[in-house]
Amino acid sequence: MKQKILLIAFIVGLLPQLANAQWFWESAESLFEQGMKYLKSKDYNNAITYFSESGKKGNAKAYNALGNMYIKGMGVNKNYTQAYNYFVSAYNTNANSRAANYWLGYCYYTGFGTNQNLNKAYQFFKTAADKGHPRSNRYLGIMYYFGDGLPKNYNNAVYYFNIAANDGDVIAQMFMGVCYYDGTGVVKDSNLGRSYLEKSAKQGNRLASELLNNYESWWRKGYKMIDGLADYIPYFGTGWRIGQALVGE
């Protein structure tokens, strides 16, 4: 009799999982990949479902994907707090995740979903950058360039911009162009500056295109390009604001 009771209890406990058998048998990675297919086809409801189930099985990438959807408003209303919470879940699932470290850095940098904390932003960006995350290197460059939570250091800014630019980051390429044009942290070289701006503009960076359009007139007048960039960015002047304006993430 006791064995029957235990068997019934076991079956009853298993019923919720059997009722949702597709999640029970599929791996976290398989669920994540299906979520990505739904995301690419703009079937956001199914994407959220599959990412959520993948995350429950311990996939940090799934939590990062959910955070991305909420921070960008992809199929859902933008909700920075919800996005931040998903990035925290991703980090807690895998503290070595480059994306989780980057996005937490971004949230602390901009104050999206949490209180702005530039010290924490730097720490998370640095961890992600050390793991080869291009945008984290870009933001470290911005923080050093503007002295945002760090002592202003143009040499360090160029160091990080250069790494990100070589990895194809268009914002970093633009800043490398600005640095060479203005002679900030590097020996002034207008030709090399133009080369970086053209590379960035060809990949769709409208700000780099605007800078190129004014390149010759500013050069003749002796203007600094960083001052020209200010004309195109609202509330220009502090790093977290320029980061927010340039990326729009």
The tens digit of pLDDT for each residue in 51-81 reads: 999 999 999 999 999 999 999 999 999 999 9
Q: What percentage of residues in the chain have a pLDDT greater than 90?
A: 59
Question: Which of 28, 32, 89, 96 minimizes the C-alpha distance to 57?
Answer: 28
Question: Among 68-77, 91-100, 110-119, 226-235, which stretch is predicted with the lowest mean pLDDT?
Answer: 226-235
Q: Is the pLDDT of residue 221 over 80?
A: no
Question: What pLDDT, in 10s, does the model give residues 156-207?
Answer: 999 999 999 999 999 899 999 989 988 999 999 989 999 999 999 898 888 8
First to last CA, the chain: 61
- Would you state the torsion angle of the CA atoms of residues 211, 213, 214, 217, taken in this order, to the nearest 10 degrees? 150
Distances (CA, A) of 186 to 58, 158, 173, 190, 225: 45, 8, 14, 11, 14
Q: Comparing 27-131 with 133-249, is the CATH topology the same? A: yes
Reading the block at residue 212, the tokens are 């190129």
CA pair distance 189, 181, nearest whole angstrom: 6
Per-domain residue ranges for the chain? 27-131, 133-249
Q: Is the pLDDT of residue 132 over 80?
A: yes
pLDDT of amino acid 166: 95
User: Superfamily for 27-131?
Assistant: Tetratricopeptide repeat domain (1.25.40.10)
Contact 103, 90 (CB under 8 A): yes
Instruction: Check residues 242 and 84 and name the one with the higher pLDDT.
Output: 84
- Per DSSP, the chain holds a count of helices (H) and strands (E) of 16, 0
CATH 1.25.40.10 for domain 133-249, yes or no, is: yes
pLDDT of amino acid 228: 57
